[in-house]
Chain A
Amino acid sequence: MRIRRLLLRVLSHIDAPLLLLLLTLMVMSLFVQYSAASQSDARLLSHGLNMLVALGVMVLVANIPPQYLLSMALPLYVVGVLLLLGVATVGEVVNGSRRWLNLGVTRIQPSEIMKIAMPLMLAWYFHHHEATLRLKDYGIAALLLAIPVALVVKQPDLGTALLISASGFYVLFFAGLPWRIMLGMLVALGASLPVAWHFMHDYQQKRVLTLIDPTQDPLGAGYHIIQSTIAMGSGGSFGKGWLQGTQTHMGFLPERTTDFVFAVFGEEFGLLGNALLLILFLAIIVRGLMIAASAPTLFARLMAGSLTLAFFTYAFVNMGMVSGILPVVGVPLPLVSYGGTAMVTVMLGFGILMSVKTHRKLLKS
């Protein structure tokens, strides 16, 4: 009986609509992975296990009241920045980038921690300056954001840096960053693009150029985009059918289980499948924003809003990249691409959302 009560209590912190949507996406993901990984049972099992672990993390985090998350914000941020500094000095170089930190027991990618720690930290900051919010607080928040982003850019990992910036920016946005400043930032961004271009690595420049004209380098950098667009386009309105994608199965599609898994989906399920997938993503995002809108504290609101939009950003950037309207930046499609770390990070975010949703009564004073 006691176990049952405990179980009920644990489950009372799960948001059923959100869980249902996530599970739908996961089931679909299993089908796509099975096809993308050439019907490998082992891969399917491992993908499923990743999901179970991620779901476990979600349930766990959902049971942590937001005030604890609040108290963890600063330490997590500090640890995250320290680890990034560690990477910059003694990190392991993999594929020409310094992203991993070897802790002896395990290797970690601290930039991944920052995807959660960043919005947490900024939400914490605004929560504490809620009553006396002034323009300079946005400046300080921007600085807090800039430090880790700069470290991640340096690795270099432009994709992750952009995602971290985005999640931080969303906090600023929801905290009420004045429109005129946002406009100013947009102008500044536009003006700084040539400068940024100058500082980009060769391969990063190549990716952008490739986006503008993929045929320029059909066997090198353009290969990914050409092949994924062909996969998607040849899927047509209704797709070639599950396990029938020729691009996928004849080995034309690179990274088809990870970053380019959406091309497999587009090829086999067509426009109809893509539209349904978009609707599913949209439903998850709308549910997240609803949770944000009804959250009881500023911290909870900012966290919920920012994490939801970050999820949207992953999905949008990935699908944009695969369909050829954004440069190739190495962002997985959340919950669909193969990979345990990203899966856990995303589900941890949803755990926070559920925590925010289900702990409201306890918080309201």
Chain B
Amino acid sequence: MIRPAQLRNYQLELAGFRKRVTIAAWMVVLLFLLLLARFFYVQVLEYQRYHTLAENNRITIVPTPPNRGLILDRHGVVMAHNYSAYTLELTPSKTGNLEDTINKLAQLVEITPAQRKRFAKLMTESRNFETLPLRTRLTDEEVAKLAANRYRFPGVDVKARLFRQYPLGTTASHVLGYIGRINDADLKRLDDEGVMANYRGSDHIGKVGLEQSYETELHGITGSEQVETDAGGHAIRTLSRTSPISGNNLVLNLDSKLETIAEKAFGSYRGALVAIDPKTGGVLAFVSTPGFDPNLFVDGIDTANWNALNDSPDKPLLNRALRSAYPEGSTIKPFMALAGLSYGVRKPGDTIFDPGYFSLPNSSHRYRDWKAGGHGTVDMHKSIVQSCDTYYYRLANDLGIDRMHAFLSQFGFGKKTGIDLEGEVAGVLPSREWKAKHSKQPWYPGETVIAGIGQGYNLVTPLQLAVATAALANGGTVYRPELVQAIIDSRTGQRRVIPPQVMNQIKISPADLQVVVSAMVDVTRPGGTAVAANVGAPYLIAAKTGTAQVVGIKQGEKYDAKHILAIHRDHAVYIAFAPADAPRIAIAVLVENGMHGGTTAAPIARAVMDYYLLGKLPKGEVIKAPAAAEGGVHAD
């Protein structure tokens, strides 16, 4: 009895359900018709109105890029700033026939083929609807001409923009670096860092140097404007605005005048110099020469200039102080001497007899001294003053590579210094471990011997050498080298000082240090290897010369500079600090193919020290001194 009832119930229910499905379907159709009616109303009946609105729809939010922060030297001399100039900009999507527009514009203002080419390149790199510069730095006359003809060119704008300029030109180019147009790789990085929004409206970004490493500080915060524009996209009036916040200014430890003097002192030589304040690690001068004019890069460098820089055998784009590593040569000797004293392997008065070479026991191979016939009886003092190789061959052999590595690495050799620039290389301070990683061969005793005079695998950047020299000068404190001394907040004017950062504190006994320093002082006195360049200095200079081999010399062969190509000549290396009794500046100089540290590198260091310590300009030098050297010379 129940079953049929349920069955009927089921069918009734199904019928009811299907009825409701039908109702639902009709409801759907009805509501879709309602939408369709709305679409018809908006898209057909009201089309004209909305079409016009879209054409005139120009309440747009325009980002206002912030002013980039300035870069100032320690005395407030401007090294990077911004100036305002007019640019001719095109929005390709609005101009109609682009070729035609550019041709017509060319009748009004000069547009060179190179500029056309650059614009075409920008076009391929950009997305639709972006505004791109065709000409920069318009003259007032050109601006007036374009303004009068503006109505003829939809999508063409003359805009006042800020441009980056480096007023000192090539000076400190490797420190400052440059900004350039934001490319795809930059975009991706900005996106990854989640700061894309802040770069809406920014065309440029720091590419190398301080411009790159302090990008976040320098860029500032983008503001915005709600602007009403006409059909051509020209702004009519501003409805509201949020002001951008300028980037912060950088104040460097660097002295731009000192930098100039150092760069000029190189003459036509290639090389690098780093001068450090041994009390803070502040970088006073940072030279890699030849340099380049960073102004060339700001608006995109043209092909001719680029090729000239990139193909030059002098490699002006290479930051030698930061990215080139050289054998430190004999400049390693004071550090080796300290190692010998520290481990008790040598006492200052211990002497050796130098016949002009050193041989390992049971070996006939002769490690030659630079001085044929040798230095005779040599103690530690004489070994530094005369740069005796044999003394250090033997010392290295007595110390062994493990102790050498342990001691020298304390000074930062083989490690990045952590300077506030990107792209630093670590150099090589060889050890068994290092060799195992880079070769299948075991460590050979002979390799220890040549490492003792800074040859073989040893590689050091001029920057590392300067940091180590500063640590020698201040009695064992390794500071992180800092180019930037303080950051000045653009809003509050507050000065955020970057405190000196101690990377390592080396335990050196003052007595041991005294032995080495007094020998280094005698290097600059009669009988020393760097006497000529240091004659008459009214302050004590502690120094060590060095020579870095470029090509190897076979056993029994003689190195003869006259018969060797200039580019195969030895590099001159030189370290110094002064005044030796109360050091205020520590310097490392490398002169490529400069042969002897004492003859080519030492005079450069002397010029730098004379200006820094005495305010004395090199002979015949008439540089307008920005704020005299007295008073503000150092930061402490």
Chain A positions within 8 Å of B, measured between CB atoms, are 38-39, 130-131, 170, 173-174, 176, 218-219, 227, 229-237, 243, 246-247, 249-252, 266, 270-271, 274-275, 278, 281-282, 285-286, 289, 292-293, 298, 301, 305, 309, 312, 316, 319-320, 323-325
Chain B positions 113-154 with a Cβ under 8 Å from a chain A Cβ: 127-129
Q: B57 is contacted by which of A230, A289, A292 (Cβ under 8 Å)?
A: A230
Q: What is the CB-to-nearest-CB distance from A131 to chain B, in angstroms, rounded to a whole number?
A: 7
Q: What is the CB-to-nearest-CB distance from B308 to chain A, in angstroms, rounded to a whole number?
A: 36
Known A-B contacts A176-B20, A271-B40, A293-B21; A320 and B47 likewise in contact (beta carbons under 8 Å): no
Flag whether B38 is at the interface (Cβ < 8 A).
yes
Q: In whole angstroms, what is the CA distance A38 to B126 when docked?
A: 11
Interchain CB contact under 8 A, B42 and A232: yes
Chain A residues lying within 8 Å of B18, measured Cβ to Cβ, are 293
Flag whether B226 is at the interface (Cβ < 8 A).
yes
Flag whether B43 is at the interface (Cβ < 8 A).
yes
Q: Which of B35, B44, B60 has the most CB of A within 10 A?
A: B35
Interchain CB contact under 8 A, B17 and A232: no
Per-position contact with A for B229-272: 1 when CB-CB < 8 Å, else 0? 00000000001100000000000000000000000000000000
Interchain CB contact under 8 A, B127 and A38: yes
Interchain CB contact under 8 A, B25 and A286: yes
Q: In whole angstroms, what is the CA distance A26 to B496 when docked?
A: 55
Flag whether B305 is at the interface (Cβ < 8 A).
no
Q: In whole angstroms, what is the CA distance A227 to B32 when docked?
A: 22
Q: In whole angstroms, what is the CA distance A233 to B51 when docked?
A: 7
Interchain CB contact under 8 A, A275 and B47: no
What's the tally of chain B residues with a CB closer than 8 Å to chain A? 42
Interchain CB contact under 8 A, B36 and A246: no
Q: A289 is contacted by which of B21, B44, B129, B240 (Cβ under 8 Å)?
A: B21
Chain B residues lying within 8 Å of A229, measured Cβ to Cβ, are 42, 50
Flag whether B24 is at the interface (Cβ < 8 A).
yes
Q: In whole angstroms, what is the CA distance A158 to B557 when docked?
A: 90
Flag whether B625 is at the interface (Cβ < 8 A).
no
Interchain CB contact under 8 A, A173 and B24: yes
Flag whether B13 is at the interface (Cβ < 8 A).
yes
Interchain CB contact under 8 A, A231 and B43: no
Q: Across the interface, name the chain A residue whose C-beta is closest to B47.
A: A236
Between-chain CB contacts (< 8 Å), 7 pairs: A38-B128, A174-B21, A232-B42, A233-B46, A236-B44, A274-B36, A292-B21
Q: Across the interface, name the chain B residue whose C-beta is closest to A237.
A: B44
Q: Across the interface, name the chain B residue whose C-beta is closest to A296.
A: B14
Q: In whole angstroms, what is the CA distance A332 to B29 when docked?
A: 21
Q: In whole angstroms, what is the CA distance A227 to B57 when docked?
A: 9
Q: What is the CB-to-nearest-CB distance from B527 to chain A, in angstroms, rounded to a whole number?
A: 70
Chain B positions 60-74 with a Cβ under 8 Å from a chain A Cβ: 60-61
Known A-B contacts A237-B44, A278-B35; A231 and B54 likewise in contact (beta carbons under 8 Å): yes
Interchain CB contact under 8 A, B28 and A282: yes
Chain B residues lying within 8 Å of A170, measured Cβ to Cβ, are 24
Q: A251 is contacted by which of B24, B60, B226 (Cβ under 8 Å)?
A: B60
Known A-B contacts A176-B13, A229-B42, A252-B60; A305 and B36 likewise in contact (beta carbons under 8 Å): no
Q: A233 is contacted by which of B25, B29, B43, B129 (Cβ under 8 Å)?
A: B43
Q: What is the CB-to-nearest-CB distance from B126 to chain A, in angstroms, rounded to a whole number?
A: 11
Chain A residues lying within 8 Å of B60, measured Cβ to Cβ, are 250-252
Q: B21 is contacted by which of A237, A243, A246, A305 (Cβ under 8 Å)?
A: A305
Q: In whole angstroms, what is the CA distance A289 to B17 when docked?
A: 11
Interchain CB contact under 8 A, A131 and B35: no
Chain B residues lying within 8 Å of A292, measured Cβ to Cβ, are 21
Chain B residues lying within 8 Å of A237, measured Cβ to Cβ, are 43-44, 47
Q: In whole angstroms, what is the CA distance A312 to B28 when docked?
A: 7
Interchain CB contact under 8 A, B35 and A234: no
Interchain CB contact under 8 A, A174 and B46: no
Known: A232-B39, A237-B43, A289-B25. 16 other contacts (CB 8 A): A173-B20, A173-B24, A174-B20, A219-B226, A219-B239, A229-B42, A230-B57, A233-B46, A234-B55, A236-B44, A243-B128, A246-B57, A278-B32, A293-B17, A305-B20, A324-B38
Q: B24 is contacted by which of A38, A250, A309 (Cβ under 8 Å)?
A: A309
Flag whether B49 is at the interface (Cβ < 8 A).
yes
Chain A residues lying within 8 Å of B360, measured Cβ to Cβ, are none
Q: In whole angstroms, what is the CA distance A309 to B59 when docked?
A: 39
Q: What is the CB-to-nearest-CB distance from A242 to chain B, in angstroms, rounded to a whole number?
A: 13
Q: What is the CB-to-nearest-CB distance from A41 to chain B, in angstroms, rounded to a whole number?
A: 12
Flag whether B551 is at the interface (Cβ < 8 A).
no
Q: Across the interface, name the chain A residue whose C-beta is closest to B200.
A: A251
Interchain CB contact under 8 A, B127 and A39: yes
Q: Across the interface, name the chain A residue whose C-beta is closest to B53.
A: A230
Q: Across the interface, name the chain A residue whose C-beta is closest to B40.
A: A271
Chain A residues lying within 8 Å of B53, measured Cβ to Cβ, are 230, 233-234
Q: In whole angstroms, what is the CA distance A289 to B28 when docked?
A: 11
Q: In whole angstroms, what is the CA distance A9 to B438 when docked?
A: 58
Chain B residues lying within 8 Å of A235, measured Cβ to Cβ, are 43
Flag whether B16 is at the interface (Cβ < 8 A).
yes
Flag whether B6 is at the interface (Cβ < 8 A).
yes
Interchain CB contact under 8 A, B40 and A174: no
Chain A residues lying within 8 Å of B46, measured Cβ to Cβ, are 233
Q: In whole angstroms, what is the CA distance A236 to B240 when docked?
A: 32
Closest 3 A-B residue pairs measured CB to CB? A233-B50, A234-B54, A271-B43
Chain B residues lying within 8 Å of A246, measured Cβ to Cβ, are 54, 57
Chain A residues lying within 8 Å of B505, measured Cβ to Cβ, are none
Chain A residues lying within 8 Å of B25, measured Cβ to Cβ, are 285-286, 289
Interchain CB contact under 8 A, B47 and A233: yes
Q: Across the interface, name the chain B residue whose C-beta is closest to A232.
A: B42
Interchain CB contact under 8 A, A247 and B31: no
Q: In whole angstroms, what is the CA distance A11 to B6 when docked?
A: 36
Flag whether B112 is at the interface (Cβ < 8 A).
no
Q: Across the interface, name the chain A residue whose C-beta is closest to B43.
A: A271
Chain B residues lying within 8 Å of A316, measured Cβ to Cβ, are 31-32, 35
Q: What is the CB-to-nearest-CB distance from B9 to chain A, in angstroms, rounded to a whole number?
A: 8
Q: Across the interface, name the chain B residue whose C-beta is closest to A286.
A: B25
Interchain CB contact under 8 A, A234 and B50: yes
Q: What is the CB-to-nearest-CB distance from A168 to chain B, in angstroms, rounded to a whole number?
A: 15
Interchain CB contact under 8 A, A281 and B32: yes
Flag whether B93 is at the interface (Cβ < 8 A).
yes
Known A-B contacts A131-B6, A233-B53, A289-B24; A249 and B128 likewise in contact (beta carbons under 8 Å): yes
Q: Across the interface, name the chain B residue whose C-beta is closest to A130.
A: B13
Q: What is the CB-to-nearest-CB distance from B12 to chain A, in angstroms, rounded to a whole number?
A: 10
Q: In whole angstroms, what is the CA distance A324 to B31 when docked?
A: 14
Per-position contact with A for B1-30: 1 when CB-CB < 8 Å, else 0? 000001001000100111011001100110
Q: In whole angstroms, what is the CA distance A320 to B28 when docked?
A: 13
Interchain CB contact under 8 A, A320 and B35: yes
